[in-house]
Amino acid sequence: MTRTLLGWVCGIVLLITVWWLVSLGINDRSLLPTPYSILAIITREFEALFSITVRTAVNALLGLTLAMFAAILLVVLVGAFPKAEVLVYPYIVMLKATPAVAFAPLLVVLIGSGPWVKIVVAALIAFFPAVIGGIDGIKRTPERLLVISDAYGCSRWTEFRHVVCGFAIAGFFSGMKTSAPLAVVGAIVGEFVDATAAGKSGIGLYIASHARYVYMDQVFAGVVMATTLGLTFFITVAVFSHYVDRRLRLER
C-alpha cells in the first residue's frame, strides 16, 4: 500500500513538473496556463468550485448506484442461469457500442431537463464495466468446484450462492474500479448536453461556459476539479475492493 501511494505521489509530481515546463516553454497562458495560475483560480473561487463539484458528485454517485444495482441483477441472472448470458450479452454490447452522448438529447426529450439526465447518462456509461467484470468473475470460477457442487446435487441457485458468488463479487468490484470514474465522466457529459437553468450548473457547465470565452485558467481549474473527483471515486472503490478481496480469500 505504501509503495502504491508513493507511486501515485511521484506520478502526480512528475505530471505537474512536465506541465509547468511545457507552459513556460509555450509562454502563452491563453493556450496552457501554469499550474500556479490554476491553483490561484481554485483558491480564489474555491467555494463556488466546491459547490458545483459536489453537485456533479451527487449526480455521478446516483448514476453509479443505479448502474451498480442494474449490473448486480444481470450478474445474478447469469450466475444462476448461465444460458441467460447468450440472451443478454448482445444487448449489453450494443448499449456500450452506442456513445452515451447520443442518448443524452433523447433523454432530455423523454424525461425533461434536470438532474435525471445526468444521472441516467452516468449510469449508462458506468454500467458496462461493472456487469462485464461480474460475468468474467463467474467464468473464473474453478471448474473443479463446479464439478464438486454438481456431484453433491446442488441446484443452480445453491451453486451460485455458495460457490460462484464470491468470484462474481470479486469480478464485479474489479469492474467497478473502472465504472466509478466513468460515472463522473457521464455526469459531466450530461451537463454538457443539458446546459440549462433547470439542469443547474456543475463542473461540465462551468468548463463549457468558460471555454466559450477562452478563459483557459477557469477551464483548467474545472478540469482539475473533475479529475480530482474522478480519482476520489476510483480510490474509494479500489480501497473497498481490496478489503473485499481480502475477506473473500478466493481460491485461484
pLDDT digits (tens, 9 = 90+) for 70-107: 999 999 888 878 788 888 888 888 877 777 777 777 77
Provide the residue ranges of all domains of the chain, joining segments of one domain with +.
1-32, 38-248
Q: What is the pLDDT confidence band of residue 65, given thresholds at 50, 70 and 90?
A: very high
Burial state string for 71-94 with b = 16 or more CB within 10 A and e = fewer than 16 = bbebbbebbbeeeebeeeeeebee
Tell me the three state secondary structure of residue 34.
coil
C-alpha cell at 37: 495560475
For residues 117 and 194, the answer to whether their CB atoms sit within 8 Å is yes
More confident residue, 9 or 219: 219
Which three cell numbers, joined as nine digits, stand for 60? 455521478
Q: Is the dihedral of CA 207, 209, 212, 213 positive or negative?
A: negative
Cβ contact 117:170 at 8 Å: no
pLDDT one-digit tens code per residue, 138-179? 888 888 888 888 888 777 778 888 888 888 888 899 999 999
CA pair distance 188, 194, nearest whole angstrom: 10
38-248: CATH class: mainly alpha
Residue written as cell 468490484? 173
Q: Does the pLDDT value for residue 199 go beyond 50?
A: no
Q: What is the pLDDT of residues 13-64, one digit of tens each?
A: 888 888 888 877 776 666 788 888 889 899 998 999 999 999 999 999 999 9
Q: How far apart are CA 53 and CA 69, in angstroms?
A: 24
In this predicted structure, the answer to whether residue 252 has a pLDDT above a threshold of 60 is: no
pLDDT, one tens digit per residue, over 99-140 is 777 777 777 777 777 788 889 889 989 999 999 999 998 888
Whether residue 196 has pLDDT greater than 60:
no
- Is the pLDDT at 198 greater than 50? The verdict is no
At residue 2, the pLDDT reads 67
> Cα separation of 214 and 223, whole Å?
14
